[in-house]
Amino acid sequence: MGSERKICTMERELAMEFVRVTEAAALASARWWGRGDKNAADDAAVQAMRAMFDTVNIDGTIVIGEGEMDEAPMLYIGEKVGAGGNVQVDIAVDPLEGTNLIAKGLTGAIAVLAAAPKGCLLHAPDMYMEKIAAGRGTKGKINLDASVTENVKAVASCLNKGISDVTVVVLDRPRHKHIIDELREIGARIKLITDGDVSPAVATAIPGSGVDMVMGIGGAPEGVLAAAALRCLDGEFQGRLWPEDEKEAERAREMGIADLKKVLTIDDLVKGNDVIFTATGITDGEFLKGVRYYGDTVTTHTVVMRGATGTVRFIDAKHNIEKKPKYVRM
């Protein structure tokens, strides 16, 4: 039995194991909520996630992680994770997506991972990416090369909304002034965020989240994570690498991305439907509650998705502090 079929037959069990991985990262980093130390929060999440991976029966390889081997002590690109076995998977992780958010006690920080059979996730270099994301029913309707106005009109039509009812999330950066100006000119609703664009991209396909679109330039690794979720949710995502210098451009070519001007579709970023996505809230967000403390217990809120079946589960979990894992610092 080949590795690709193995992940299909074991996917249900793996999904729950990956939930425990993101829960561990969220629990470890949440203790640093609002304490102003983003590096300590990130380190706690990384260590907890790495330790929990050791309990999962996979032959895993980190393809998107904390950086190169010489930049990160663990969860670096190329690192092998898992307890071993015949199930070969590529894994994209961000143990703490939104380090500034948790340091300042702001909304939207999550622990997140995506997993797929070997070779099915784009090995995205750590650089910027132009992005556009929207929810169910928008596949083939939006285009990264179209204007802001054209894309908002397309999403409004898909959602049977007026333009003034469409909510677009944009990172609050000077590079996005033209996007923000055009959105205001056409009367769309805008939600500016300081950091963390994975959660709002996923939220576009979650009914009732209040987010309809995400536009702008953010991290390429985060783009692959968002695309994995939207693949499970039948949403739409497009991206294009945005290297800032020739060194970054060469790094992209070394990782197999020859045409840097190419619009990367959701099919380029995540090949096939055999993908698992899980995210645990650290601070409150559009569709996930953050970690909460109740005396001797802690609660977490996690979403787990399986692309092969389209199943989406929200999991409310209660953890006993007295039986806390060793890596959770109290």
**Spatial contact of 242 and 216, defined as CB atoms under 8 Å apart:** no
Q: What is the pLDDT of residues 3-33, one digit of tens each?
A: 444 444 446 689 999 999 999 999 999 999 9
Report how far residue 202's alpha carbon sits from residue 206's, in angstroms, rounded to the nearest whole number: 7
Q: Residue 179 in contact with residue 216, Cβ under 8 Å?
A: yes
Q: What is the pLDDT of residue 68?
A: 76
What pLDDT is stored for residue 325 in this prediction?
A: 55
What percent of the chain is predicted at pLDDT more than 70?
93
- The residue-averaged pLDDT of 52-56 equals 96
What average pLDDT score do residues 255-264 get?
89
Confidence (pLDDT) at 330: 42
> What pTM value is reported for the model?
0.92
What's the rounded Cα separation, in Å, for the pair 330 and 328? 6
Instruction: Find the mean pLDDT for residues 275-282.
Output: 97
Cα angle: 301, vertex 102, 285; to 5 degrees: 40
Query: What is the mean pLDDT of the segment spanning 167-174?
Result: 98
Contact at 8 Å (CB) between 27 and 102?
no
Domains of the chain by start residue, with CATH: 3-119+274-323 (3.30.540.10), 128-269 (3.40.190.90)
